[in-house]
Structure 1
Amino acid sequence: MISPGLAEAEVFKIADIRVEGLRRIAPGTVFNYLPVQVGNTVSDEVTGGIIRALYQTGFFDDVRVERDRDILVIRVRERPAIAEIRISGNKDIETKALQSALADIGLKEGRVFNRSVLDRIEYELERQYFARGKYGVVVQSTVSPLERNRIAIDIQIVEGLTARIKQINILGNRAFTTKTLLKQFKLGASRWNSFYTKNDQYSKQKLAADLESLRSFYLDRGYIKFEVKSTQVSISPDRKDIYITVVIDEGKPFTLSDIKLAGNPPVAPERLFPLIQLKRGEPFSRKRVTESAERISALLGEEGYAFANVNTVPDVNEDKQEVALTFFIDVGRRVYLRRIEMEGNTRTRDEVLRREMRQLETAWFSTDLVRQSRERLQRLGYFEEVNIETPSVAGVADQVDVKVKVKEKPAGSLSAGIGFSQSDGILLNASVTQNNFLGTGKRVAVAFNNSQSTTLYQFGYTNPYYTVDGISRGFNFSYREVDYDELVGADYAADLGSAGLNFGLPITDTSRAGLGISYQYTDFTAGDSAIAQDFVAANGHTFHDFVLTASYTRDTRDKAIFPTRGSLRTFQTELAVPGSDLQYYKVRYDEQLYIPLTSRFILALSANLGYGDVYGDLKELPFFENFYAGGPRSVRGFKANTLGPCEIESNDPVGGNLKLTGSIELFAPAPVGGEFEKTLRLGTFLDFGNVWATYDSDLLAPTGFDLGELRYSTGLSLTWLSPIGALSVSLAVPLNEKDGDKTQVFQFGIGQTF
């Protein structure tokens, strides 16, 4: 306010300015906001401007302007500072999240207190809880004064119960039943799984998305005049139930009377019309029209017309309820690629990136080839990020450059780990790996793994571009000590040495063929096992074999960890060539198929088939080359490696030369939110499988192939990508165990996945 003495005084010239009443705020801060300075003349208008300017800072509760001879005196009373903010009663929203939101609005410890800000925050907190369906929330704030002109703020929240959608009504529908239309909604009345899907929690954004889905449903069935007339959302007096009413006007269905192409496209109509998946006389479908236009644009992009526009022009005849559709194509000029530039690859050589590029310089620019190039660079595993920009060349209308920007991640790793599984016991491992050795793209790895059943030493080297065509070449050397008594329960052991050479041939971007040859040394110890002693007596205990392998792999999964779509198919053959001590062959086929059912649920189907047999003087497949089934990564609910034939004398499992296993599993992320949604996966499954010995033997039982011997189990699974490795847990119930089967309901492992 203005001092009366100053108001009545004459105008004067300021000789000095004095500020009184400051405690925390520095005088310089006040002077920065003053609209006057020493030497200015003071009048009533000037003093009013001083007061307004200081009030607008939000620092002061009171401002007075006075005169002491030729000195301008400004007396202020500072607003209190916020010493502490306490929040209680919140469960649905974390305290840290609330404190961060309060700080963004202006309520934070150490800042000047402003009552209007606190009122606005109470309203904002209520709005956030309303968005979560808690319409009965009560937010109360208490301001307590403290010494030294400070205050403490207590915000007490009574969240109340979450309001649930009780009913959704649709009025005005004649062509489709309400039940059919409600299937287009993600929102809905409470049901048994609403705790997981949260379908009964109303939000304005969710309802808008559902109304758009409803609109698309009608437009895809020819109702081009469909309209949502009104939407009403009401809540019960106790604020527990929500009722939604949607009023629609369906209009009448329209059919396609004609389909035309216009714009003189450079591609022959015979190539374009098959991309238009519409037929005359069928109902108009916006979705199929859009998809057809996108396919035409993609084809033109592959032909070098990167900036082509495909516009659909409908000609509506309301009297006949028909639509004549014209695809107008504006291709522009054919675009060529001038230059490819690499950025960010400080370690990786340019040639490693360029050999993955499917888009070539001076060629037509193809959006599809650029996309393929980016995917191939991402699959290398050398980079955290891969971004491709396509700027136009300045001054030229038909040329672009491709700028590949990568962010490298460490290509080498030194790792050591410890884990545990019920089948292998304690797992120790250490490895030194360079996936991008000296920036050349070559892989070098040295590894050591140890468990109760197996000790492994391994060295590997792979050059993925041994030739410019992408043929790879690799060398592998390994030594294993396997105690089968710890692994499967049969009393025998083996020392296995291997040295191999392998080649890989790319067939397509998603498929690859492999060919390898290796020398294998086996030193066998029979122990008390009757079948092992019989085999050693007939064939000896030391073997030198040359094994030829061939494989085919097709991988269309969207990602290697927790895939949501695509498949992984592998076919592999293994042949101990003539001249080897043991002459046998093995064939394997594995397939994993992932089908997205909804945005959260993934159906996974898997099948594994293996068969082995002998030629030459051997009578049956060496039993230490047998297949095994049962356990976490096979048929859950049965103890690892225990299904199939057993020794008659000891009842120890020995595996078989024929294997068939599979699984049907429904996956979903855990309903916990946050980062755990990406690292935690739940599943329910049905496993089946077994192994058989298809040859006659007096030492084994049973023998012969019989699908009636398939074992089944069902249960629940959980996989967590924890900081110390993958934690896998399953609870499985065998459905048809028989006498002699070894079951295991609870199975888990750390450091492995299944």
Structure 2
Amino acid sequence: MLACLLLLLIPFWCAPGWAQLAADPIVRGIEIRGNQRVDASTILYYIQTKVGEPLSRALVGKDIEQIYSLGQFSDIRVETQPMADGVTVIYRVEEIPSVGDVKFKGNTSLKTEDLRPLISLKRGATFREHLIQDSITKLTAHYKEKAFFLVQIDIQHQISKNGLVNVVIEIKEGEKVKIEEVRFHGNKAFDHGELEDHMETKEETWLSWFDESGIYKKDVLRIDVLRLESFYHDHGFLKVRIQDPTLEINREDKEIYVDIHIDEGEQYRLGGITVEGDETYSREELLTVIQSKKGEIYNATQIREDALKISELYSEKGYAYADALPQTLLDEESKTVDVEVNVNPGRKVYVGKVDIYGNTRTQDNVIRREYRLKEGELFNSKKLKRTKQRINNLGFFESVKIDTRRGDSPELVDLTTTVTERPTGAVTFGAGFSSVEKVIFNASISQNNLFGTGRSLNLSTDLSARRTNFNFNFTDPRIFDSDISAGLDLFNRRSNFFSFDSRSTGGGIRLGKNLSETDWLGFGYRFENVQISDVDPASQTTFLQNGTRTTSRIGPTFIRDTRDDFLNPTQGTRHVVRFEFAGSFLGGADFHKTSYEGTYYQPLIGQLVLALHGEVQFAEGYGSDELPIFERYFMGGSNSLRGFTIRQVGPKDRNGDPIGGDQALLLNVELQYPVTKEFRIFGFYDRGNVYGDGFDTSTTSRHIDLANMRQSVGGGVRFLSPFGPISLAYGIKLDAVPGDTNAEFHFSAGNAF
């Protein structure tokens, strides 16, 4: 460009035609020459020299600057061609070539579409030599971040006939270099294993092909340093210093050694923690939620949690924007930390508008009636959490999100609920196999959110060699949006219990009421006609004999449920107490039944959940009646004692067939791990038995005996399908007796326990 600008100052150097001009001639024409890609009209747009005006060297200089600023030209020259009444000005340009095709070769591990955005060599872009090395540098860095430290990249380019530069990027990826060892230096308080447990970066193991351990990821390692610092801060090392990790690469053995240098510093303990009360909470009330204790090793995470609990206390009293900020003061002499929590409650706020979005099928009132907060009510974070929990427990939605935002005035907070509907209706057909029931076929038509009203309707059938069941169930959980529920059940069932056949037809009605957020009391009545047949005459007793009987029963059910999620609980308890009274003034067989069922969920390490379940049952006839055979308890299968069938548990007749018992005890222990929100794996230990009279009681006893119980271990999977919860389990007997199988496979549809 400098040479061309000199044309304006030194006549005859580049354009000798100018020397013949004694005065500024008139421009009679303007031509653009040498351009191939850039349109002439684009260049003319930036030229200020005009036809019909005198030629100005200063103006031509500006034209050259403007054209050059487009960034498309490597050289620009200006010439004049004399005419009879003036000159023609000719702008000769030399274009910088553009990038044509950009091809990647040799990249098998990383996708081309992931590599292409990393470089500036793109089709249509201006080609410049320095972009070659820039692209090599960026691609090499990206490969190294993916642990391809042996990568080699070469870029070839060639100008085509149309003036475009075609680029070929050849990549030799090499093998991934795995982390052979993570080496810590300077750590005294914690050993190698303790520190590595808090890192995502791991050394290569024999499982690396499965869990990708041993792969170096730069960003992950950077976050691991923060994790380690947090770990040290939670153990009192407030002045810990962790240097940026360094890498030692063994290219011959394809190994990486990660070195992390740590300066732990001194360990501090909690000197004391103070917080001032006010008219909302006294100092003593605030201290009750603080878990940190004087003299303990200082734990930064626990201090933050304590401050958060104080904020939550205030938010339960309407202070939605309360802020509790811990201030620390280090005493270097005693190596203690004093903490003062300063609370700024802000102003009280009230619930403004409550908006609901995303419910394409479910009616608004079905969601609103689960709200524990009403418009105009004082804000309460505890009630807000419970609201979300209750909406989740409806089972109608994939996700539930409740956001808070400032309302029309500073004293108001608006609540916005956004839900994502999940299918609640299904037509299902299924088949399975059981060693007891052989081929099992089931079908159902169900809708758990009928017409979006929250009501449920279910028609189902189960068919196998041992049972033929038809059921109809209808439930309205909130009659007229109240806390009262009602239901209707109709059934026709046939079951073969080996020692007898049972065919029962009947129905029942149910009423219930929520007593509190966690307590529910129900009352039901059921009538059924039961026909017993196929009893071996030699095995007949007063309670086991052919014939037809009716039962008419009433009874209350009390449920206390504090689980955080009904479908996939991780913590909380569920207690169920049932009592049934049959006969007497109701007619039919005289008996009563009592049962208690309890379930406990507790999170352990990470996402691992411990589930404990127990159930105890008693039944007894009264007056002159014994407990009918069809009301006795049987055990074995997916929802009770896994690894066993009903033929292998409890009293038996002289043919070795089960006759049930009047008492039962069941204990289940599960370790559950959620792989995803809808899918979890579990391992279990089951222990249980049925107790009562019979010809063969070799594996049981007359009354409940904790020492006389069948037991099994096993594992399985449980997932939430579009048709409801499904469970697959395999149980292995720990106390198999002659005639027993060693294990059983179970399939079930429904919740655990």
> Which residue of structure 1 aligns with residue 430 of structure 2?
418
Q: Does the CA contact (< 8 Å) of 1:81 and 1:113 recur in 2?
A: no
Instruction: Render the CA deviation track for 1:275-317: whole Å, top value 9, x for unaligned.
Output: 2334445444333322222222111111122222222233333
> Which residue of structure 2 aligns with residue 743 of structure 1?
742
1:619-634 correspondence runs (5 A): 619-623=626-630, 625-629=632-636, 631-634=637-640
In the alignment, the residues of structure 2 paired with residue 611 and residue 380 of structure 1 have an alpha-carbon distance, to the nearest angstrom, of: 32
1:39-188 correspondence runs (5 A): 43=60, 46-47=63-64, 49-50=66-67, 53=70, 55=72, 79=98, 81-82=100-101, 88-90=107-109, 98-102=111-115, 104-105=117-118, 126-138=140-152, 156=171, 158-171=173-186, 173=188, 184-185=198-199, 187=201
- Structure 2 alignment gaps of length 5 or more: 19-24, 52-58, 82-87
1:582 aligns with 2:589: yes
Supply the AA of the counterpart residue of 1:641. Answer: I
1:362 aligns with 2:368: no
Instruction: Render the CA deviation track for 1:627-647: whole Å, top value 9, x for unaligned.
Output: 221x44444444x33322464
Matched residues, number: 715
In the alignment, the residues of structure 2 paired with residue 516 and residue 189 of structure 1 have an alpha-carbon distance, to the nearest angstrom, of: 61
User: Deviation of residue 124 (structure 1)?
Assistant: 5.2
Alignment identity in percent? Answer: 21
In the alignment, the residues of structure 2 paired with residue 32 and residue 309 of structure 1 have an alpha-carbon distance, to the nearest angstrom, of: 60
The match for 2:242 among 228, 231, 236 is 228
The match for 1:658 among 655, 659, 663 is 663
> Which residue of structure 1 aligns with residue 503 of structure 2?
495
**How well do the aligned residues superpose, as a CA RMSD in angstroms?**
4.5
> Which residue of structure 2 aligns with residue 612 of structure 1?
619
The match for 1:462 among 466, 469, 475 is 475
User: Deviation of residue 359 (structure 1)?
Assistant: 1.7
Decide which structure has the larger Cα Rg and report it.
Answer: 2
Q: Does the CA contact (< 8 Å) of 1:170 and 1:178 recur in 2?
A: no
1:295 aligns with 2:293: no
Bigger shift: 651-660 or 302-311?
A: 651-660
Instruction: Render the CA deviation track for 1:690-709: whole Å, top value 9, x for unaligned.
Output: 433422x3477655255555
In the alignment, the residues of structure 1 paired with residue 609 and residue 44 of structure 2 have an alpha-carbon distance, to the nearest angstrom, of: 65
Q: Does the CA contact (< 8 Å) of 1:263 and 1:330 recur in 2?
A: no
The match for 1:475 among 475, 488, 496 is 488
Q: Does the CA contact (< 8 Å) of 2:687 and 2:712 recur in 1?
A: no
Supply the AA of the counterpart residue of 1:245. Answer: I
Instruction: Provide closer, same or farther for how the CA distance between residues 644 and 378 of structure 1 changes in structure 2, counting only shifts above 3 A.
Output: closer
Q: Does the CA contact (< 8 Å) of 2:633 and 2:662 recur in 1?
A: yes
Q: Does the CA contact (< 8 Å) of 1:548 and 1:574 recur in 2?
A: yes
1:206-355 correspondence runs (5 A): 206-228=220-242, 231-237=245-251, 238-256=253-271, 258-262=272-276, 264=278, 266-343=280-357, 345=359, 348-355=362-369
User: Deviation of residue 739 (structure 1)?
Assistant: 0.6
1:36 aligns with 2:46: yes
SS of residue paired to 2:286? helix
Supply the AA of the counterpart residue of 2:709. Answer: L
The match for 1:644 among 636, 649, 657 is 649
Instruction: Render the CA deviation track for 1:401-423: whole Å, top value 9, x for unaligned.
Output: 32333346377624233232425
> Which residue of structure 2 aligns with residue 674 of structure 1?
none
In the alignment, the residues of structure 1 paired with residue 196 and residue 266 of structure 2 have an alpha-carbon distance, to the nearest angstrom, of: 19
Instruction: Provide closer, same or farther for how the CA distance between residues 390 and 647 of structure 1 changes in structure 2, counting only shifts above 3 A.
Output: closer
> Which residue of structure 2 aligns with residue 717 of structure 1?
716
In the alignment, the residues of structure 2 paired with residue 21 and residue 635 of structure 1 have an alpha-carbon distance, to the nearest angstrom, of: 83
In the alignment, the residues of structure 2 paired with residue 389 and residue 294 of structure 1 have an alpha-carbon distance, to the nearest angstrom, of: 19
In the alignment, the residues of structure 2 paired with residue 524 and residue 147 of structure 1 have an alpha-carbon distance, to the nearest angstrom, of: 95
User: Deviation of residue 187 (structure 1)?
Assistant: 4.7
Instruction: Provide closer, same or farther for how the CA distance between residues 352 and 184 of structure 1 changes in structure 2, counting only shifts above 3 A.
Output: closer
Instruction: Render the CA deviation track for 1:10-36: whole Å, top value 9, x for unaligned.
Output: 6967656688645xxxx77x8568752
Q: Does the CA contact (< 8 Å) of 1:727 and 1:748 recur in 2?
A: no
User: Deviation of residue 657 (structure 1)?
Assistant: 3.6
The match for 2:701 among 695, 704, 720 is 704
Q: Does the CA contact (< 8 Å) of 1:234 and 1:242 recur in 2?
A: yes
User: Deviation of residue 435 (structure 1)?
Assistant: 0.8
SS of residue paired to 1:418? strand
In the alignment, the residues of structure 1 paired with residue 13 and residue 505 of structure 2 have an alpha-carbon distance, to the nearest angstrom, of: 103
Instruction: Provide closer, same or farther for how the CA distance between residues 224 and 401 of structure 1 changes in structure 2, counting only shifts above 3 A.
Output: closer
In the alignment, the residues of structure 1 paired with residue 277 and residue 750 of structure 2 have an alpha-carbon distance, to the nearest angstrom, of: 58
Question: Given the two structures, how large is their TM-score scaled by the length of structure 2?
Answer: 0.79
Instruction: Render the CA deviation track for 1:373-396: whole Å, top value 9, x for unaligned.
Output: 2332333344455443433344x4
In the alignment, the residues of structure 2 paired with residue 33 and residue 420 of structure 1 have an alpha-carbon distance, to the nearest angstrom, of: 77
In the alignment, the residues of structure 2 paired with residue 159 and residue 604 of structure 1 have an alpha-carbon distance, to the nearest angstrom, of: 48
SS of residue paired to 1:628? coil
SS of residue paired to 2:339? strand
Bigger shift: 304-313 or 72-81?
A: 72-81
> Which residue of structure 2 aligns with residue 506 of structure 1?
514
In the alignment, the residues of structure 1 paired with residue 611 and residue 402 of structure 2 have an alpha-carbon distance, to the nearest angstrom, of: 33
> Which residue of structure 2 aligns with residue 517 of structure 1?
525
SS of residue paired to 1:435? strand
SS of residue paired to 1:327? strand
SS of residue paired to 1:358? coil
Question: Given the two structures, how large is their TM-score scaled by the length of structure 1?
Answer: 0.79
Instruction: Provide closer, same or farther for how the CA distance between residues 668 and 309 of structure 1 changes in structure 2, counting only shifts above 3 A.
Output: closer
Q: Does the CA contact (< 8 Å) of 2:651 and 2:692 recur in 1?
A: no
Supply the AA of the counterpart residue of 2:711. Answer: Y
SS of residue paired to 2:625? coil
> Which residue of structure 2 aligns with residue 673 of structure 1?
none
Instruction: Render the CA deviation track for 1:644-692: whole Å, top value 9, x for unaligned.
Output: 246444333444443334444444466xxxxxx5555444x34333433
